[in-house]
Structure 1
């Protein structure tokens, strides 16, 4: 009985993988098709990649995408880590405080709210502030969305953190800045990177 259920589960798993990845593999294969039609193979060619690299609009869009990705990731990592540290330190110093569930709900709202609703809310907010739309508004929108993910991952890391090493560092004469830089940040760095 156990073996047959394992085979069924394995078969189901491979069917799901095939459903997800076979279309991507077919798309990659067809990108080398010289004819440009998905129904007729015209031989292998790199001409579509040459046209892609020669297209200035696509190069500009790729550069903008890279700028948005790197900038929003950096800002979200910094702000999300600081937010997680603040929330966890406050929860640790005030156990059983009122409003803890409300704070958790507000922190996780961008992850729960559907993307389209968050996008419309941010657009309305930008219009309310009479803010021009452009690369800066896209970066800001991505930061708002990503902070919740960074905060959640870093808070998970902080929940399993041994705070006695912070106290030991301070007792040995290190200030808060040195303790944060040399003890806390290296200990939570995997969580920050995962976020």
Structure 2
């Protein structure tokens, strides 16, 4: 992961050494990335900013997998238990109002436990509220409202169901749409093109001993 740390430092240096008005990156966006816990998630955030600013992100920790569409796969070793942490990530193709960067769907295998969540790029509301309503739609199936768990940072929601159930629905359909309503704001809808997801999930499913 030394290369991953170097990549992150180089990326931050490139962005912060030039005027924000020139690059289209605000100081607040950099600060939001910098405070994200977990190296993989933090680098993903910086990568997204770099892409929007016109830079090609340095993907030293990326895993190349054929036929994964727009998905990215990253991995690192968890030094506490020696397991491999695998993060599979997909940015939304389209969404409304994104002050902190694009909405991103993330599936993660950490310490052999699978999680799935959406980073919305918005402060959704009071973090004293443990849950957040999320409307989801898989392909052409009817939309359904689910009660997702709100992150402690207030800008992400975790899937309430077994991750394999959500992932299986997404793999079986070409698109995934999610909508939630931040505090004092209109609903935010994110559209995801899930093509290539089955291939992208390969190492994650193996690492967490899961099947779809």
| Highest RCO, 1 vs 2 (Cα 8 Å, sep ≥ 6) | 1
TM-score (norm 1): 0.23
- Larger radius of gyration between Structure 1 and Structure 2: 1
TM-score (norm 2): 0.22
Higher helix share goes to which structure?
Answer: 1
Higher strand share goes to which structure?
Answer: 2
